[in-house]
Amino acid sequence: MDNIAGQKAGLTWAVNIAVAALVLLWLIPTVGLFVSSFRDRDQISATGWWKAPMPVELTFRTRVAAADQEPTATGYAISGNVFADPSQARWFPSGSGTVTRFGTRGAAPTEFEAGTEAELRTGGTLTIADDGSFLLQNDESFERPVTLYFEARTPPQFTTANYRTVLTADGMDRAFLNTLTVTIPATVIPILIAAFAAYALAWMEFPGRALLIAAVVGLLVVPLQLALVPLLNLHNRIGIGQSFLGIWLAHTGFGLPLAIYLLRNYMVGLPRDIIESARVDGATDFQIFVKIVLPLSFPALASFAIFQFLWTWNDLLVAKVFLPSAAESQVMTVKIADDLLGSRGGDWGILATAAFVSIAVPLLVFFTLQRYLVRGLLAGSVKGG
């Protein structure tokens, strides 16, 4: 009695497991980024985010003043505890901890096991116990301060300092408004133009229509990086240079091929009877487009709007090329990359936090329109003519 209508497939469980696995694979990087955004930058550099609840072994250094030495029967000695250094209070507020290894030079701060005796290059010996107590001994007096290097277990630290740094950065509010100023027109303009073009390619008969469709498909595979310099030169020649108008037109040009292709494939699959009936009733192409095609094409419009909004909001390259470098014109991606991360971009805590701050608005847009996403993409991919 196989293949009976209404009978569930035998491999449904496999499909469910596969879907769950894919969702998990997509969530893992996001969860890791979220956890890292609350961690201390030193702990992020030392261990992965999955070890965030565990103690982290970090290296420290402290300086011992020569004035602290005391004479002994065999020479001079300096004793104390590395955790008593006020500079370590952030990591060891109780003044105690566990030393795992220590060293006598910055190139090898974990050269010796805790509790062993190590020779100093300037003469004498050093011993650091696992509780942080140390003993410096030498036959002669210490002439200058001695730097001690040690590795200790630090408790896991979670903080909102990264978010305060990003949200209160000078000019971040202006960068947020600039991002909206770039993204909203750069999303609306290509949708308006592409909707008219898609209707013409789908329902209007004119010479060269097939060539135009082929040209649109061909433009989908052109890398935008190849067009950046020629397009910027064109903008400079016509007088718009590096400006908001220039970046609107740039994003419009880069987004139009996909928009026209997606909307045309969707519109050509709309019921022909509705269009023909409207024409019989005397409706013009513009009336058909505005009153029939546009409302029925809303899923496809929403699908492209999501993609275009995400691309323009998260864009860095086009913004660097087509916007002035002054702080007054910076968008959030440029502000984060240039001012908060610097040229080396090594502050992982700030990077993770900035990523979550910058995706807040795109997430809101996505979840608002996501019910139309799959419907619009699937209809545009299987219907054509």
* Alpha helix (H) residue ranges in 37-136: 41-46
Residue 304 belongs to some domain of the structure:
yes
Backbone CA torsion sign across 284, 202, 206, 253: positive
Backbone angles phi, psi at 207, to 5 degrees: -65, 140
Residue 314 belongs to some domain of the structure:
yes
Q: Express each pLDDT in 96-116 by its tens digit.
A: 889 999 998 888 899 999 999
Instruction: Calculate the alpha carbon distances from 162 to 167, 255, 261, 355 in Å.
Output: 9, 34, 42, 11
Domain end (from 154, 180, 208): 154
Average pLDDT over residues 17-43: 88
- Indicate whether 32 and 169 sit together in one domain: no
- Indicate whether 289 and 328 sit together in one domain: yes
* CATH of residue 363: 1.10.3720.10
- Indicate whether 178 and 236 sit together in one domain: yes
The residues with which 39 forms a beta bridge, in sequence order, are: 158
- Indicate whether 199 and 143 sit together in one domain: no
Instruction: Calculate the alpha carbon distances from 298 to 221, 255, 372, 380 in Å.
Output: 26, 18, 8, 12
Please tell me the total count of domains within the chain: 3
The SS3 of residue 130 is coil
User: What confidence score (pLDDT) does residue 345 get?
Assistant: 53
Determine the Cα–Cα distance for residues 195 and 175; give it in Å rounded to an integer: 30
- Amino acid making up residue 44: I
- Indicate whether 180 and 78 sit together in one domain: no
Residue 356 belongs to some domain of the structure:
yes
- Indicate whether 150 and 167 sit together in one domain: no
Domain that holds residue 35: 12-51
User: What confidence score (pLDDT) does residue 300 get?
Assistant: 86
- Indicate whether 278 and 148 sit together in one domain: no
Q: Express each pLDDT in 368-381 by its tens digit.
A: 877 766 665 555 44
- Indicate whether 65 and 81 sit together in one domain: yes
- Indicate whether 73 and 186 sit together in one domain: no
Average pLDDT over residues 343-353: 70
* Alpha helix (H) residue ranges in the chain: 12-36, 41-46, 161-167, 172-203, 209-219, 228-238, 244-267, 272-280, 285-288, 294-296, 298-313, 317-322, 332-335, 348-358, 360-382
- Indicate whether 86 and 47 sit together in one domain: no
- Amino acid making up residue 21: A
User: What confidence score (pLDDT) does residue 99 get?
Assistant: 92
Q: Express each pLDDT in 185-240 by its tens digit.
A: 999 999 999 999 999 998 888 888 889 888 988 888 888 888 888 888 999 999 88
- Indicate whether 179 and 302 sit together in one domain: yes
User: What confidence score (pLDDT) does residue 380 get?
Assistant: 45
Residue 2 belongs to some domain of the structure:
no
- Indicate whether 264 and 133 sit together in one domain: no
Q: Tell me the pTM.
A: 0.74
The residue with tokens 């949200």 is: 167
Domain end (from 137, 154, 171): 154
Determine the Cα–Cα distance for residues 307 and 366; give it in Å rounded to an integer: 9
Contacts of 193 (CB under 8 A, 6+ apart): 252, 256, 259
Domain end (from 154, 182, 202): 154
Average pLDDT over residues 351-359: 84
